[in-house]
Amino acid sequence: MSVQPIIQISLDLTSTEEALEMAEIAVEAGVDWIEAGTPLLLAEGLHAVAALRKKFPDHPIVADLKTMDGGYLETEMMAKAGATHVVVMGVAHPATIRAVVRAARDYGIEVMGDIMAAEDPVAAAKLLEENGVDYIIVHTGFDERGENPERSPFDHLEDVFKAVTIPIQAVGGLSIQQAAKMPKHGAPLVVIGAPLVIDQKEFSPSTNKEELKRILADLVHQVKHSQ
């Protein structure tokens, strides 16, 4: 399935205030989708999603729930708070995947299926697609990369791309340069994490606003004009 490249900012912060500030910089730079990252959801819950929806009424908002159980309720809560996308894990029971998809259909939102930690990433991606998810996330986890820095989404990206027909996102340890090239590798949903760390320098929303905006705008330009 061919999709125009989309740039998503992952707000892996722990306060709604910082998340709103970072999102504002990202939106000004041309980012398309806003993600309430897992740390933000753990710290602030659906209130963070509601705050993002209020400030950015027209932008898609991804709630990175990493749902493993209680799929219908979790999806319903986030949809009511203003999320347009939720994330279910490929290693969840198929009944949970189906519950998330059912709730998403009921509330008019979409589902992203994350294959992180799957013993067989290709089989997990196929299972997610067969059960109705709309996107696949090829994800190499933070802790896994911490123990083995050689691991990356490239380990499985090509095989998953060949195995499914729905759009793919690749995430986990990619540099901004690598992220910008993802559409050429079959993953048009480009995600960049925030706070950003570039060349051993950390960018938080309260510092280097103009430089941060320039970096994100440059990423947007690279992705949108790399086709």
Burial of 107 (0-12, 13-18, 19+ CB in 10 A): middle
Please name the residues in contact with 20: beta carbons below 8 A apart, sequence gap of 6 or more.
Answer: 51, 52, 55
Task: Flag whether 1 is in a domain.
Answer: no
The per-residue pLDDT for 43 is 97
The per-residue pLDDT for 203 is 73
The per-residue pLDDT for 139 is 97
What is the Cα–Cα distance from 209 to 22, expressed in whole angstroms?
9
The per-residue pLDDT for 87 is 98
Q: Give the burial string for 159-186 (b: 16+ CB within 10 Å, else e).
A: ebbebbebbbbbbbbbebeebbebbebb
The per-residue pLDDT for 122 is 98
Going residue by residue through the chain, which has 227 residues, state the pLDDT in tens, using 9 for 90 and above. Answer: 578 999 999 999 999 999 999 999 999 999 999 999 999 999 999 999 999 999 999 999 999 999 999 999 999 999 999 999 999 999 999 999 999 999 999 999 999 999 999 999 999 999 999 999 999 999 999 999 999 999 999 999 999 999 999 999 999 989 889 999 999 999 999 999 877 776 667 777 667 788 889 999 999 999 998 65
Specify the CATH number for the domain of residue 141.
Answer: 3.20.20.70
Task: Flag whether 162 is in a domain.
Answer: yes
Task: Flag whether 168 is in a domain.
Answer: yes
Task: Flag whether 70 is in a domain.
Answer: yes
Task: Flag whether 175 is in a domain.
Answer: yes
The per-residue pLDDT for 52 is 98
Please name the residues in contact with 153: beta carbons below 8 A apart, sequence gap of 6 or more.
Answer: 138, 139, 140, 170, 171, 172, 173, 174, 187
Residue pair 65/73 in contact (Cβ under 8 Å)? The answer is: no
Domains held by the chain: number:
1
Whole-structure pTM value: 0.95
The per-residue pLDDT for 198 is 67
Q: Both tokens of residue 92?
A: 């969840």
The per-residue pLDDT for 208 is 79
Structural domain harbouring 171: 6-224
Task: Flag whether 133 is in a domain.
Answer: yes
Q: Both tokens of residue 14?
A: 């722990």
